[in-house]
Amino acid sequence: MDEDKELLEKMKLRILRSFKWKNDVVSPLAIELGITKEEFEKILMDHLDMSSLESLHSTFESARPRCLSKRLHADLRLCWLCDVMEIVTVDEANRIKMSLVKEIIDGKEYEKVLEDGKKQIVDLLSI
């Protein structure tokens, strides 16, 4: 490998591994895509230049709640219950999702929070 290229890769890897979201995003994403963390790091380095990698850093804080909320919307089947059937209101859905997102960001396991969210939805619908 060309020396400059090698240096660039080292610098990119340093940025990647310094990310706060390495454990929260990069590693889980690699597992979910069925590839190793190293393979996923290579993908990120190949697709993003230094400044993109750096700027991703700052989007983390706002992107994580949004992506978690969308994931919960899908996993709680709110597309059906809220968007289509309208038996859960948008306000109720947002309230539940926001509280669940907070729990996940505070460190609780996604699957446990999801189960709890399903119970909240059923309770709400059974009133």
d(CA 24, CA 29): 9
d(CA 124, CA 113): 16
The interface region with a second copy, picked from 3-11, 12-20, 75-83, 98-106 by CB under 8 A, is 75-83
User: Closer to a second copy at the Cβ: 13 or 48?
Assistant: 48
Centre a 10 Å sphere on the Cβ of residue 101 and count the other Cβ atoms it contains: 19
Binding mask 8-37 for a second copy (x = CB under 8 A): -----------------x---x--xxxx--
State the residues that interact with a second copy by CB under 8 A: 25, 29, 32-35, 43-44, 47-48, 56, 59, 63, 66-67, 70-71, 73-75, 77, 79-81, 83-85, 87, 115, 118-119, 121-122, 125-126
